[in-house]
Amino acid sequence: MKSNRNFIFLMLGQSVANIGDVLYIVAVISVLYKLTQSATVSSFVPFSITFAMFISSVLTPLLIEKFNLKLLLLWSQVGKTALLIGLGIFMINSLNSGNYYLIFIIIVGVALLDGCANPIKQTLIPYYVEDNLLIKANGISETLTQSIQIGTWFFGSLLLIVFNANQLIWFVSVLFCLSCILLSFLKKVEYEAENQEKKWTVLTRGWKSINNNPLLGKVVWMEFFETVANSVWIAAILYVFVEKALKVQEQWWGFINCSFFIGLVLGSILCIKFSRFVDEKSNVFIMTGALTTCVCTILFGTTSVPVMALILSALIGLFGQLKNIPQQTLIQTSISKEQLATVYTSIGTISTGVFGVSSLIIGLISDYLGIRSVFIISGILLAIVSLIAFKNRKLFVKDDRRQLNC
């Protein structure tokens, strides 16, 4: 694997940062609930994060135009570290006053920096990894990300038994410092931004790349429908489904979440193990993955058997990942490396913006039509994704002639 050392440092740095991200959210939600005794205030944490990341996705192309990608990733992490240290100091000195508004300002600041870092991470992978190993590299990246999601959310709540929220924030600050050190070892990439004077041209460059590339155009439409469909998996919807549809105790909400993430990890591992086969049959995996998640989502919404819900949740995670990893690799090989950063920020804009709005709409639909209805609607939207993948299956094939970044 070309520049293997850089890929390892990128994965380690981002993994440590991802662990810190989850733990800091656990601590913040705990603090806000204790201060306000309001679930509504706590629920504004994910909303604030989504809104800030949407703004960041829109503005990040301007930063990519001015700064080196490696330095931009590093300094975004340095900024997050500074904000966490500031939050720790605030929680020591001023938290008892009940003034929790500064916490939301810090949350927004961290999310703005995260919205900048996420597309850069995806962009840097093709710089550090040879094209024929991208499936494996993306699989490793997804395995680490999802494994962290499984473990850290579980252990984060347990850590609050041992440590108070303020101590957890300081622990996260140490993790962020370690992440900064690891990312500082990355090699600078030769990224040549196109010379454009007008800011509007810079901001729309990613959209132009998408519009001029047939594969990316279809991926964006698939991303749109998938994002709306996946909004049914937010905590508020799943919690109600467990209570009203499955009629089991609230811990099953955690079981279903866990089985979903286990499915994601298994899908990533399969992509790593059979990377060459997945690469050669990318269109088959994308079509099969989209169709299977569609069917499993509808079955999930109609079942009343808790164990079946666990199995279906795991299958949704498994086949969703078997679709997403080859799709991610096709994005990375369909355009030049210089275009990747702006394309990823444009796709990120869709993901965050659409998810924020659709989460609210899905909540309203579940109140008026019932909790099962939203999973049926999700399945229908995923059926549209399947249809797009099938109609354009010839596009979703790795074509060496299309790899402009070689």
Longest pairwise C-alpha distance within the chain: 63
Average pLDDT over residues 154-181: 84
Q: What is the mean pLDDT of the chain?
A: 81
Average pLDDT over residues 186-190: 80
Contacts of 99 (CB under 8 A, 6+ apart): none
Average pLDDT over residues 51-72: 79
Q: In this structure, what token pair is assigned to residue 35?
A: 């201060």
Average pLDDT over residues 100-122: 85
State whether CATH 3.20.20.30 applies to domain 1-183: no
Q: Where residue 405 falls among pLDDT bands split at 50, 70, 90?
A: very low
Distance CA 287, CA 293 (A): 10
Q: Where residue 52 falls among pLDDT bands split at 50, 70, 90?
A: confident
Q: Is the pTM of this model over 0.95?
A: no
Q: Which of 42-56, 171-185, 186-200, 267-281 has the least mean pLDDT?
A: 186-200
What pLDDT is stored for residue 225 in this prediction?
Answer: 92
Contacts of the segment 37-41: beta carbons below 8 A, 24+ positions apart: 41/100
How do residues 236-256 score in pLDDT, each as one tens digit?
677 778 888 888 876 787 788
Distance CA 236, CA 42 (A): 12
Cβ atoms of residues 386 and 290 within 8 Å: yes
Contacts of 210 (CB under 8 A, 6+ apart): 216, 217, 220, 343, 346, 347
What pLDDT is stored for residue 232 in this prediction?
Answer: 85
What pLDDT is stored for residue 404 in this prediction?
Answer: 40
What pLDDT is stored for residue 165 in this prediction?
Answer: 81
Q: Helix or strand or coil: residue 326? A: helix
Give yes or no for residue 210 having a pLDDT over 90.
no
Q: For the chain, give every domain's residue range.
A: 1-183, 201-399
Average pLDDT over residues 366-393: 90
Average pLDDT over residues 314-318: 93
What pLDDT is stored for residue 96 in this prediction?
Answer: 58
Q: Same CATH fold, 201-399 and 1-183? A: yes
What pLDDT is stored for residue 398 in this prediction?
Answer: 66
Whether the CA torsion 205, 206, 207, 212 is positive or negative: it is: positive
Residue 198 gets which letter from DSSP? Answer: -
Left, alpha or beta for 3 (phi > 0: left; psi -120 to 50: alpha)? left
Q: What is the homologous superfamily of the domain 201-399 according to CATH?
A: MFS general substrate transporter like domains (1.20.1250.20)
Distance CA 301, CA 283 (A): 27
Q: In this structure, what token pair is assigned to residue 115?
A: 């919205």
